[in-house]
Amino acid sequence: MKTKAITEGALLCALTVLLSLLCYYVPLMIILYIFIPVPMVVLAKRQDMRTTVVSSLAASAILFFFIDMMSGLTFAFYLIIVGCGLGYCYKKQQSGFMKMATAYMGIFITLIAFLIVFQMLSGVSFIATLSKDFTTISEQVLQTYQSTGIFSADQMTTLTNSVGQIVTELKLMIPSAFLMAPFFVGWAICIGCDTILKKIKSQNVPLQPVSQWQAPRSLKNILLVLALFLLIVQFAGIEAVPQIYVVTLIEITTLIYGVMGLSFVFWMINRKKDHEVMGWKILIVIVVLIIPMATTILAMIGILDGYTSLRAAIVMKDGEKK
C-alpha cells in the first residue's frame, strides 16, 4: 500500500474507533452509531478496497480491547459488512438503487448476526426478551397508576385493556420493525457519505432526491397484489393467516406507499423551483413523525400517484399556464 493510503487508513480507522467508543460510552451519542461505516466508505472511495478491509479489521480488533464481546462483534459486523460493502459500491460508481440495496442487505445481515450472537452468548432469544420487556414495563406502568388511587375500578379495567392492546400491537410490529429499520438507516448512511464526498470534492454519483423517486412497474404490481390480498384477509376475516404476518405485510406496504406519497409531495413543492427547499421537506417529515395519521394520508397519495398519470397531468397543466 502507498504511504498516502496507509496514512488515510490509519486516520479513518482512528476516527471509526473514536466514533464507536462515543456511541458505546456516551448515551446521548448513540445516534452516531448509524454513521460508523461512513469513514470506511469514504476511505474506499478515495483509496482502494484492500486498504478499507485492513482498516475495518484493525478498527474492529482495537474495539475489542475497550468494549464487551457482544458489542464488539456487533460493531465489527456492522463496520465490515456495511462499510466495506457500501464502500465497494461507491468505489465502482454504482447507481443509487444499488447503494441503497447494498446498505439494506448489509444492515439486515448485521441485525441477523446480532440476534444470533445475542442468543449464543446470553442463551435467550432477543425477540423473546424484548417481548417480555414490553409486558414488564406495561405492568409496572399499570401498577404505578393503580397505586395513585386516581382511577376508579372501571377506569383501571379500561386502561388495562388499552395498555394490553398496545403491547400486543407492539409485539406484532417487531418483525416489520426489523425489516424496515435497515431502509432508513441505509438511507441515512448514503446521505452522510454523499454529503462528505461532496464536501471533499470527490467524484460521486449521489442518490437522487426523494422528489425524483418513483417505484418501478414491477414493484407497483407486487404492491397491488399484496394490497388486494390484505383487503380480502381483513374484510373476509380469514383467520388461517397468522396476525403477525398480516401486520408485517400491512406495515411494509404502508411504508412503501408512504415513501411514494412523500416523493410526490416533495415533487409538488419543488417542481417550479431551481433547487429543492429543505425547510418544507424538514417540516413535512416532522409532521409525519408527530401525527400517525399523516403516514396513512401519504400512503393514499402514493397510491394515487403510483397508479395514475397525476404527475404528467400536473406538468401538462403547468405548461398550459405558461
Per-residue confidence (pLDDT) for residue 121, from 0 to 100? 79
Domain boundaries of the chain, sorted by first residue = 1-123+173-207, 208-322
* pLDDT tens, N- to C-terminus, the chain (322 residues): 577 778 888 888 888 889 888 888 887 788 888 888 898 999 888 888 888 888 888 988 998 888 888 888 888 888 889 989 998 998 888 888 889 889 999 999 988 888 888 888 777 888 888 888 888 888 887 788 778 777 777 777 887 888 888 888 888 888 888 888 889 889 889 988 888 888 888 888 888 888 888 888 888 888 888 888 888 887 777 777 778 888 888 888 988 898 898 888 888 887 777 676 677 777 877 887 788 788 888 889 888 888 888 888 887 776 666 5
Q: Give the pLDDT score at 175.
A: 84
207: left (phi over 0), alpha (psi -120 to 50) or beta: beta
Picking from 189, 253, 229, the residue whose alpha carbon sits closest to that of residue 42 is: 189
Tell me the fold of 1-123+173-207.
Answer: Arp2/3 complex 21 kDa subunit ARPC3 (1.10.1760)
User: What one-character-per-residue DSSP string does 225-237 give?
Assistant: HHHHHHHHHHHHT
- Measured CA to CA, the distance from residue 25 to residue 45 in angstroms comes to 30
d(CA 274, CA 164): 51
Q: All 3 cell numbers of residue 54?
A: 485492513
